[in-house]
């Protein structure tokens, strides 16, 4: 309890926002405006990877993480105006996995919006997801902010429709990490046309927040931390004065600034990814990485996952991260340098010695 209370006091001191402490990989986002009556919050949960074993049995590590996150979200103070789920509800996109995940998420209080992940999509190309949660991409407005939800995990038609003998094989190929048989993600031409039309209706001074599953950047192709048409999507967002992209998928803390667009990742409720050594081979695409993914205890199912409070003051994101068995981090938008920065980057000598991921 003391640790939670200390985290809460530290958050209030650094972000000036009242919030309840938690020990789960969820996010509370506050958007602050000149008129305090327009301030609001939303919670963010992502990457549950519910995995079906047999009958009513599921991998407990993953569904327990989502169940706890939902419970803690319902206890947040102030109550969030809505909740975002950031994708990869399922592991292999099956009906039992999606049904089990949907049942867990149904306990959330208030409005919930959904982003689709590749693990939700590639078995039936989102057909069952659509029946449960609605369209794969859409937009909405809330208290002066324009929110856009994209399906950023599509890929080439040839890979999708012609390469694999069964839908199950296609799903397995796309679900694999560091898999040469995978294919780069993309938003695609149809959605880009829709996005342009959607944004053309919005005043350029309106804050824009984009939710995607993949990063809408070209970070590291080997792990598919990559969106093939990211440059084209970014070009559509460049005319706006303040744009933030919040994404899941990477299971680790990342932040970056490209032109007027701030990029920030959120943590997963399932497991963390370590940072790949091969990042060094793609230095030109490397975003800022807060802390290499040190594993204090790789056999602890929640180790190196985490949660964050996000304060969006005047359209810029401040992220207050808490990491299990590691140093808490604050990634704050530097208004002078016009980019996110880790305000107290963890020196290498102070880091926990990494252990091998099991």
> What pLDDT digit, counting tens, does each position of 87-110 carry?
999 999 999 999 999 999 999 999
Question: How confident is the model over 327-337, as a mean pLDDT?
Answer: 80
Q: How confident is the model at residue 267 (pLDDT cuts 50, 70, 90)?
A: confident
- Residue in this structure with the two tokens 């790949």, named with its chain if needed: 276
Average pLDDT of the residues of the chain: 80
Q: Is residue 180 a contact partner of residue 215, using CB atoms and an 8 Å limit?
A: no
- The contacts of residue 71 (CB under 8 Å, 6+ apart) are 107
Nearest to 118 by CA among 196, 75, 70, 175: 175
Question: Backbone phi, then psi, for 256, in 5-degree steps?
Answer: -160, 160
282-286, 320-324, 336-340: the lowest-pLDDT one: 282-286
Look up the pTM and report it: 0.84
* Model confidence band, residue 318 (pLDDT cutoffs 50, 70, 90): confident
Query: CA distances (Å), 293 to each of 153, 274, 290, in order?
Result: 24, 5, 9
H or E, element range at 309: strand 306-313
Q: What percent of the chain has pLDDT over 70?
A: 71
pLDDT of residue 316: 74
Q: How far apart are CA 260 and CA 223, in angstroms?
A: 26
Would you say 278 and 222 are in contact if contact means Cβ atoms under 8 Å apart?
yes
- pLDDT number for residue 14: 34
Q: How far is CA 119 from the centre of its chain?
A: 14
Q: What DSSP line would sit under 2-51, residue for residue?
A: HHHHHHHHHHHHHH--------SSEEEEEEE-SSGGG-EEEEEE----B-
pLDDT value at 329 more than 90: no
User: Burial, 106: exposed, middle or buried (Cβ in 10 Å; 0-12, 13-18, 19+)?
Assistant: exposed
Q: Does residue 202 or residue 76 have the better pLDDT?
A: 202
For 244-254, how does the pLDDT look when each residue is reduced to its tens digit (9 = 90+)?
Answer: 999 999 888 88
Helices (H), the chain: 2-15, 60-74, 95-105, 118-121, 127-133, 157-162, 167-175, 189-200, 230-237
Confidence band, pLDDT 50/70/90 cuts, at residue 6 = very low
Closest CA to 254 of 229, 228, 218: 218
How buried is residue 41: exposed, middle or buried, by Cβ count under 10 Å (0-12/13-18/19+)?
buried
Say whether pLDDT at 78 is over 80. no
Q: Residue 177 has what pLDDT?
A: 74
With a CB cutoff of 8 Å and minimum separation 6, the contacts of 239 are 199, 204
- What is the Cα–Cα distance from 328 to 169, expressed in whole angstroms? 40
In this prediction, residue 25 has a pLDDT band, given cuts at 50, 70 and 90, of low
| Of the candidate ranges 44-48, 194-198, 265-269, 320-324, the one whose mean pLDDT is the lowest | 320-324
More confident residue, 205 or 253: 205
Of the listed ranges 22-36, 91-105, 150-164, 217-231, the one predicted with least confidence: 22-36
Residue 224, phi then psi, degrees to nearest 5: 60, 35
Dihedral sign from CA coordinates of 166, 171, 172, 174: positive
Local confidence band at 279 (pLDDT 50, 70, 90 cut-offs): low
Task: Report angle CA 102, 308, 118 to the nearest 5 degrees.
Answer: 40
Average pLDDT score over residue span 185-189: 97
Over residues 20-25, mean pLDDT: 44
């Amino acid at each position: 309890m003391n640790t939670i209370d200390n985290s809460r006091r530290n958050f209030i001191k650094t972000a000036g926002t009242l919030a309840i402490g938690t020990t789960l990989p969820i996010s509370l986002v506050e958007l602050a405006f000149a008129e305090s009556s327009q301030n609001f919050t939303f919670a963010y949960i992502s990457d549950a990877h519910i995995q079906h074993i047999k009958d009513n049995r599921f991998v407990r590590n993953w569904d327990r993480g989502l169940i706890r996150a939902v419970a803690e979200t319902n206890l947040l103070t102030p109550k969030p105006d809505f909740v975002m789920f950031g994708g990869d509800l399922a592991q292999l996109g099956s009906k039992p996995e999606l049904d089990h995940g949907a049942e867990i998420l149904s306990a959330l209080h208030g409005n919930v919006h959904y982003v689709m992940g590749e693990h939700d999509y590639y078995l039936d190309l989102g057909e069952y997801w659509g029946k449960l949660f609605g369209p794969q991409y859409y937009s909405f407005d809330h208290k002066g902010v324009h929110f856009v939800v994209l399906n950023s995990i599509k890929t080439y038609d040839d890979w999708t429709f012609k390469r694999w003998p069964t839908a199950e094989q296609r799903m397995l190929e796309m679900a694999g990490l560091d898999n040469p048989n995978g294919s780069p993600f993309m938003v695609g031409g149809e959605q880009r046309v829709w996005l342009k039309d959607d944004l053309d209706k919005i005043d350029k001074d309106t804050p824009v927040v984009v939710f995607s599953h993949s990063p809408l950047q070209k970070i590291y192709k080997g792990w598919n931390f990559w969106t093939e048409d990211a440059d084209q999507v970014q070009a559509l967002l460049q005319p706006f004065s303040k744009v933030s992209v919040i994404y899941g998928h990477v299971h680790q803390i990342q932040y970056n600034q490209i032109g007027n667009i701030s990029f920030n990742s959120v943590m997963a409720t399932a497991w963390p990814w370590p940072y790949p050594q091969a990042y060094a081979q793609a230095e030109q695409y490397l975003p800022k990485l807060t802390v290499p993914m040190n594993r204090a205890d790789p056999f602890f199912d929640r180790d190196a996952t985490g949660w964050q409070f996000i304060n969006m003051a005047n359209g810029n994101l401040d992220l207050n991260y808490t990491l299990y068995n590691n140093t808490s981090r604050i990634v704050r938008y530097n208004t002078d340098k016009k980019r996110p920065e880790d305000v107290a980057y963890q020196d290498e000598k102070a880091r926990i010695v990494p252990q091998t991921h099991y």
